[in-house]
Amino acid sequence: DIQMTQSPSSLSASVGDRVTITCRASQSISTYLNWYQHKPGKAPKLLIYAASSLQSGVPSKFSGTGSGTEFTLTISGLQPEDFATYYCQQSYNTPQTFGQGTKVEIK
Partner 1 sequence: DVQLVESGGGLVKPGGSLRLSCAASGFTFSSYNMHWVRQAPGKGLQWVSSISGSSSHIYYADSLTGRFTMSRDNTINALYLQMNSLRAEDTAVYYCARQYVNTLWDAFDIWGHGTMVTVSS
57 binds partner 1 (CB under 8 A): no
Whether 16 and 27 have beta carbons less than 8 Å apart is answered as no
68 binds partner 1 (CB under 8 A): no
3-state secondary structure of 80: helix
Q: What residues pair up with 87 in beta bridges, in sequence order? A: 36
Quick one: which of 107, 46, 56, 100 has its CA closest to 80?
Answer: 107
3-state secondary structure of 1: coil
Residues 42, 60, 80, 107: which binds partner 1 (CB under 8 A)?
42
Residues 18, 53, 59, 70: which binds partner 1 (CB under 8 A)?
53
Residue with smaller CB distance to partner 1, 83 or 98: 98
Residue 68 C-beta-side C-alpha neighbours within 13 Å: 1
Q: What residues pair up with 70 in beta bridges, in sequence order? A: 24, 67
**Considering CB under 8 A, how many residues would be counted as binding partner 1?**
28
46 binds partner 1 (CB under 8 A): yes
Residues 7, 15, 26, 50: which binds partner 1 (CB under 8 A)?
50
Residues near partner 1 (CB under 8 A) are 1, 31-32, 34, 36, 38, 41-46, 49-50, 53, 55, 85, 87, 89, 91, 94-101
